[in-house]
């Protein structure tokens, strides 16, 4: 009898706060099918728990999420994966409880979609972000659903077309995250924000979030299928496959 594979995403609940921790260090918390499936399940579980007021998503290490799992994408394609990530962003935006993300270090490509979908995003000033898709012959298509809702248009153009790294402090200025704080204050700031949100009444939180995210959810519903189709097509292209193979060979 073989042991069950270790869980890639953990859930714990205390003081009205459900903490969901990404813990897949072998691939830098890439959005593999398993990680997305487990994250989806834990979000739904937290959403259904009457004791939970706030959901916090963070990582066990410095890297929050490295984006799509390029090993899976290059070998198995992304037809299912792109639609699942659209659905993940929609789940975060429609969950009846506020969702907070916290990141100390790197967030790349598809991982930025989770940050953008969240209601509140707090990061270290020294954290790094990059929409790297353009470097691989891809486009930030499925995450544009949430990222372009948050970021100001000039910042979105600069970061999407350039694909370069930008800091947590810049992410706050661009509108991608709510607040950037010194790394040593991140845990304290996240705890204070979550505690404050947790004082909200369930109905008040639910109805307020629905009003706040009405336009975001409408955007996901209107454009989600088109963006998933575009992303799937680009992942399957010769240009992207060559770029992903070259990238993976350098790792």
User: Contact 56/18 with Cβ under 8 angstroms?
Assistant: yes
For residue 77, the model assigns a pLDDT of 73
Domain extent listing, the chain: 9-184
For residue 39, the model assigns a pLDDT of 98
For residue 251, the model assigns a pLDDT of 59
* All residues at 6 or more sequence positions from 59 whose CB lies less than 8 Å from its CB, including other chains: 21, 22, 23, 29, 65, 103, 104
Task: Tell me which residue of 111, 103, 124 sits closest to 66, measured CA to CA.
Answer: 111
Single out the catalytic residue among 133, 184, 226, 242.
133
Q: Give the tokens for residue 96.
A: 């009846």
For residue 199, the model assigns a pLDDT of 98
Q: Is 80 considered catalytic here?
A: no
Q: Give the tokens for residue 227.
A: 């963006």
Q: Which residues of the chain have pLDDT under 50?
A: 1
CATH T-level fold of 9-184: 2-enoyl-CoA Hydratase; Chain A, domain 1 (3.90.226)
For residue 4, the model assigns a pLDDT of 60
pTM: 0.95
């Amino acid at each position: 009898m073989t042991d069950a594979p270790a869980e890639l995403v953990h859930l714990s609940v205390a003081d009205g706060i459900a903490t969901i921790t990404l813990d897949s260090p072998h691939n830098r918390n890439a959005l593999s099918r398993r990680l997305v499936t487990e994250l989806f399940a834990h979000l739904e579980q937290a959403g259904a728990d009457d004791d939970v007021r706030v959901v916090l998503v963070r990582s066990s290490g410095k890297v929050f999420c490295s984006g799509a799992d390029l090993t899976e994408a290059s070998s198995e394609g992304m037809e299912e994966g792109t639609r699942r990530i659209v659905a993940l962003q929609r789940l975060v935006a429609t969950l009846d409880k506020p969702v907070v993300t916290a990141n100390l270090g790197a967030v790349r490509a598809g991982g930025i979609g989770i940050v953008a979908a969240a209601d509140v995003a707090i990061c270290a000033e020294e954290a790094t972000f990059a929409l790297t898709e353009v470097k691989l012959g891809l486009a930030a298509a499925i995450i544009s659903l949430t990222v372009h809702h948050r970021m100001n248009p000039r910042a979105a153009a600069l970061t999407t077309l350039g694909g370069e790294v930008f800091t947590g402090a810049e992410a706050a200025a661009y509108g991608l995250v709510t607040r950037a704080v010194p790394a040593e204050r991140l845990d304290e700031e996240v705890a204070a924000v979550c505690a404050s949100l947790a004082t909200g009444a369930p109905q008040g939180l639910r109805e307020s979030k629905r009003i706040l995210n009405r336009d975001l959810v409408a955007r996901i519903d209107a454009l989600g299928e088109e963006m998933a189709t575009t992303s799937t097509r680009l992942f399957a292209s010769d240009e992207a496959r060559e770029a992903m193979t070259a990238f993976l060979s350098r790792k």
